[in-house]
A = this chain, B = another copy of it.
Amino acid sequence: MSQRNLTLLTDLYELTMMQGYFKEKDANETVIFDVFYRSNPGGNGYAICAGLEQVIEYVNELHFDQEDVDYLKSTGLFEEDFLEYLHHFKFSGDIYAIPEGTVIFPREPLVKVIAPIMEAQLIETALLNIINHQSLIATKAARVVFAAAGDGVMEFGLRRAQGPDAGIYGARAAMIAGCIGTSNVLAGKMFHVPVRGTHAHSWIMSFPDELTAFRNYAKLYPTACILLVDTYDTLKSGVPNAIKVFKEMREAGIPLTTYGIRLDSGDLAYLSKKAKKMLDEAGFTDAVISASNDLDETLINSLKIQGATINSWGVGTNLITSKDCPSFGGVYKLAAILDKKTDQFIPKIKLSENAEKITNPGNKAIKRIYSRETGKIIADLICLDGETFKENHSLLLFDPIETWKKTHLAPNSYTMRDLLVQIFKDGKCIYDTPAVMDIQSYCKKELDTLWDESRRLVNPHEVHVDLSNELWHMKNQLLESYHFRD
């Protein structure tokens, strides 16, 4: 992101509203906007947040070039004084966010922007674009990795990704969520993550025959010798030729470290079992049997149940596009406006006939509550910033809609941590983004704080996201002040 000026990567209405604030309001009015989402993608029991590093790069680079200003002028929508303001535009606010790789749940503020209204408005679109994309792919990848149950999953989707960035940042998100490598070389270079790959059908087809193609590949890459066996006929040609080459290597005294076959078509359950038998009989019991071909978490799960002998998974299209659910519904909503006279935030609410769509007003924080005994998440508590809770006191949690559903936590039975971390202070980034592989380690630990019941692929148990008593009362007071039912 840092090489490109993405300042105009925004919806036009952000700019027309900015000009409106500039002309009609105190443009420096401080406001709070929250990024949050309403339901987990693909029926999952949680999401993984990702994209913060690119948000930071984007905010750091925000500026209107002369050619940006000239372009905006050419639209005829903007006046000179506003364009002059844009010339000197710089983000000067505070941003809080949940660190990348964290397990997150619906309705929690993932990012909280506290800034002059014009600045906060401008960054809406790009923030959502970046966070929606990477959180989507990280969440999908976590499902696929879960289905693989300890086998390595490689991200192979670049050619089907929705443009270069979708491939690059999708690979980043997939690595965060636990993939062991990506085929995407540029992502490997940019994020210092392992790159993987072998050869395509074209390699086989470019030689006079399959055996010659395999021999040449083995000669060049003896230590990572995964041979693609389905160009002509998997069991009659591909696997026997692969075994022939492995035997030649063994006879020549070449150590067989990482070696095996890749299946890319046909009945993967049947072919993998047959191939495993042939490899075993030839003494190649530790050969890798990798598979690709439109895989996703459901297919991997099904293949495992069928007893497929695959132990390495290359997942492309369905992962990199999150095919069954290709968007993450993150939104950006006004939560409060600072009253300059009192220096207090006035909470703001967006109504809807659907209770789930009503926003949570005010300047908020999120406490994650863990069982002291198991280390697993009990619930998340959205509260007002500054509210304090003591772990040696009992805690009463209640469902924010069906309030009679309550949970009592005994003193010292739980621990709490704050999820939001300050990222920008007065326009300056004060946060060091960890390396992607470190985020991956953190994410693995995060996933361990979920009960298995919340990780399963179908009908997962929903983790409670409650409101503090104080926030709940404030929200209900605001709701009472409006009428919207006939």
Contacts and interface: CB of A to CB of B under 8 A. Distances in A.
Given A166-B133, A189-B71, A334 B128 contact: no
Nearest to A321: B326
Interface in A325-376: 326-330, 332-334, 337, 348, 350-353, 357
Contacts of A75: 188, 195
Interface string A399-417: 0000000000000000000
Nearest to A226: B13
Ordered nearest first, which 6 A-B pairs have the shortest CB separation?
A: A12-B197, A163-B165, A13-B197, A165-B165, A128-B159, A326-B326
Contact of A17 (B202, B224, B333, B350): B202
A87 interface: no
A184 B9 contact: yes
A233 interface: yes
Given A129-B167, A327-B321, A334-B205, A13 B198 contact: yes
27 contacts: A4-B164, A8-B186, A8-B189, A9-B158, A9-B185, A12-B195, A16-B197, A16-B220, A16-B221, A17-B199, A17-B202, A20-B220, A29-B206, A33-B202, A68-B189, A126-B164, A159-B330, A160-B329, A162-B170, A163-B169, A205-B334, A232-B482, A232-B484, A317-B327, A317-B329, A321-B321, A326-B326
Nearest to A323: B326
Interface string A262-297: 000110000000000000000000000000000000
A233 B160 contact: no
A202 B484 CA distance: 19
Interface string A124-139: 1110111011101100
Interface in A33-87: 33, 67-68, 71-72, 75, 77
A388 interface: no
B129 A13 contact: no
A15 interface: yes
Nearest to A181: B12
Contact of A162 (B23, B25, B162, B195): B162
